[in-house]
Amino acid sequence: MAGAENSLFIRTLQGETSVRPPVWLMRQAGRYLPEYREIRATAKNFLDFCYTPSLSVEATLQPLRRYPFDAAILFADILLILDAMDRGLRFETGEGPILNPLEKASDLEKVNLSKVATRLSPVMETVSRLKQNLEPGFPLIGFAGSPWTVAVYAIEGRGGTDKKLPKLWAYTRPDELKAVLDHIVLATTEYLKAQVEAGVDALMLFDSWAENLPDTVFDWLVIEPTKKLVANLWAEGITVPIIGFPRGAGAKLPDYVARTGVTAVGLDTGQVPAFVNANLPAGFPVQGHLDPLTMIAGGKAMLNRADELIEAYRSAERPHVFNLGHGITPDANPENVAELMKHIQAMG
């Protein structure tokens, strides 16, 4: 155990409530910070940046110097696992990620799973350096993409799509898609196990493309692979809290919570507090879900909604980690983050 058990963040994930919620923000390290843009410019490309521990450590720490966040998140990317699986990942300026589109499950089967963690060893080096640099007991979050979201990128070969190809696989080649998901589950188990061994205190599973799926399909594309991944981690003796983030799950959220085994659930911008309180088990911890665009708007739009969310979960005695409903955008105003933090800190 890495010693963060007594932090507000971990205690909240374990089911405690407190006067003010712990806070961190998705993508808290990154382009809205001028100091990030400065060090980012020293790397040849984004992959090199992620694989250079001195830079990744610095990017993780930058937001913590500005703001009193309650947790750090490892600086890396959910797509690194596909680099380790030889999918030709590259980040082209202005285009986002590009990969060689997967044609069949057997393309992944050539990958030696035991080598995934070795290939990603710079990430584990970043984790251990961070644990040396952070105050003792300050929580560090490790993460991976959820199997479905990673499969979407692998099959489409890029992001920001309508998921047409992987959804068509679900209807026309379900066995092939299941094999892809199973393979990603195994590789991700190795990767997350290595992150925990290197010292992370909690894990987050980003299912960014869980939205707009029919409920029957959601079941085997999102819930089942996540459940397998969580069960694998438990079988490896991993006990750190696991936050699942099925973005856009909507009314399918209670089923996700009941069946995957995650410790806590990340809520997206469009999720409804009254629905969450009425439909998730009493005391089940949630994380989220202020609209990231309020970090551009600032003022009342930001503060009033923050108050509403905090009050909704406080009055239901539901453990709540305050966060955004999706990643902060590059055009967010750092002054607004400061104001939000001041506002929440003043609660207690």
Site for ligand CP3 in 327-346 (CB under 6 A): 327
Residue nearest to ligand CP3 (CB): 208
Whether 31 sits among the annotated catalytic residues: the reply is yes
Region at 48 (left for phi over 0; alpha for psi -120 to 50; beta for the rest): alpha
Please report where in the chains the tokens 């699986």 appear, as a residue.
Answer: 85
87 is catalytic: no
Complex with ligand CP3: residue 79 or 105, whichever CB lies closer: 79
* Count of residues of this chain found to bind ligand CP3 when the rule CB under 6 A is applied: 20
Please select the residue that binds ligand CP3; options are 4, 22, 27, 295, rule is CB under 6 A: 27
265: contact with ligand CP3 by CB under 6 A: no
Residues 192-221 that bind ligand CP3 (CB under 6 A): 206, 208
Return the biggest CA–CA distance within the chain: 55
**What amino acid occupies position 171?**
Y
* Choice from 20, 40, 90, 178 touching ligand CP3 (CB under 6 A): 40
Residue 322: phi and psi, rounded to 5, are -75, 135
Q: Are 39 and 312 in contact (CB under 8 A)?
A: no
27 assigned to active site = yes
CB of 159 to ligand CP3, least distance (A): 4
Please state the φ and ψ torsions of residue 206, each to the nearest 5 degrees: -90, 110
Kindly state the tokens that stand for 199.
């010292």
Note whether 73 binds ligand CP3 by CB under 6 A: yes
Rounded to the nearest whole angstrom, what is the least distance from the CB of residue 80 to ligand CP3 in the complex? 9
Phi-psi region of 283 (alpha: psi -120 to 50; beta: other; left: phi over 0): left
Q: Is 29 in the site for ligand CP3 (CB under 6 A)?
A: yes
Check if 129 is active-site.
no
Task: Quote the tokens at residue 267.
Answer: 């809520």
Q: Which residue among the candidates 32, 51, 67, 153 is catalytic per the annotation?
A: 153
143 binds ligand CP3 (CB under 6 A): yes
| Tokens standing for residue 338 | 């400061």
Kindly state the helix (H) or strand (E) to which residue 153 belongs, with its residue range: helix 147-156
Binder of ligand CP3 out of 69, 75, 148, 284 (CB under 6 A): 75
In contact, 341 and 295? CB cutoff 8 Å: no
Over the window 90 to 129, marking each residue x when it contacts ligand CP3 by CB under 6 A and - when it does not, the resulting string is: ------xx--------------------------------
Does 51 qualify as catalytic in the annotation? no
- DSSP, residue by residue, 190-228: HHHHHHHHHT-SEEEEEETT-SS--HHHHIIIIIHHHHH
Residues that bind ligand CP3 (CB under 6 A): 26-31, 40, 46, 73, 75, 77-79, 96-97, 143, 159, 206, 208, 327
Which residues are known catalytic residues? 27, 31, 40, 77, 153
